[in-house]
Amino acid sequence: MPSTETGPGAARIRRFTPVQIAAHLLLAVTFLAMLWTGACLYFPGLAEVMGRPLAKAVHLWSSGALVAGLAVMAAFRPRDLGRVVREAEALDRADVTWLKGGPRRVVDHRGAPEQGWLNAGQKLATAVMLGLLVVLYGTGLVMWLGTGVTWLRIGSGAVDVHDLATILFVLLLLGHLYLALLNRATRPALRGIVTGEVDREWARANHGRWVREMEERGR
């Protein structure tokens, strides 16, 4: 039976901490709640499934829950969430070379430079998603306050920007789900966000620099 330890000689290696897993789950649940309630507010037909007052309340409470939950996690384990942000911001020369390979990098690593904890594609997707969340919250705040503040309603265009950011986020989410659930080359990564551990040899092939650094640190 393969070992579940994460030391240098083990079959698996720890990729995500419990706080990182919890933050990912919180984002998934709250975003899906906001997406559904936002659709109920946007499409008249769905308003019959969930009334607008309830949809608006759930939408606002879900957005607040995401911010509050991440704030609590950041207060207790700032390094865990900070690492994700730092990784998304740190594109180096190897990452640029990786990105030049285009979409084929997902299934073909020939000629690709070794990647760290996140590969260049994951860094880029994470950075864009975080940016879109900022846009969604900013425009959402304008829309919410604008219901009672006249100058916020005039020419703000917040609704259009909010809708566009939502569409872009959903497209990235669909790509994320495809890679996590359907694509055979990247599907082993799903275990990491569920249990925190991934197969060491898969990680070595996809995140070789990170595995080497972890093994050197373990020794």
One DSSP character per residue, 168-218 reads HHHHHHHHHHIIIII-TTTGGGHHHHHHSEEEHHHHHHHSHHHHHHHHHHH
> What CATH number did the domain enclosing 78 receive?
1.20.950.20
In a domain, 142, yes or no: yes
The candidate with the shortest Cα–Cα distance to 15, out of 206, 192, 180, 218, is 192
Per the structure, the complete domain to which residue 160 belongs is given by: 12-218
CB 145 within 8 A of CB 112: no
pLDDT band at 157 (very low <50, low <70, confident <90, very high): confident
In a domain, 4, yes or no: no
- Answer whether 0.75 is exceeded by the pTM: yes
In a domain, 98, yes or no: yes
In a domain, 7, yes or no: no
Structural domains in the chain (count): 1
CB 20 within 8 A of CB 28: no
Per-residue pLDDT of 90-124, as tens digits, reads: 888 889 998 888 877 777 777 788 999 999 999 99
In a domain, 2, yes or no: no
Tell me what pLDDT residue 4 has: 42
Residue 185 has pLDDT above 90, yes or no: no
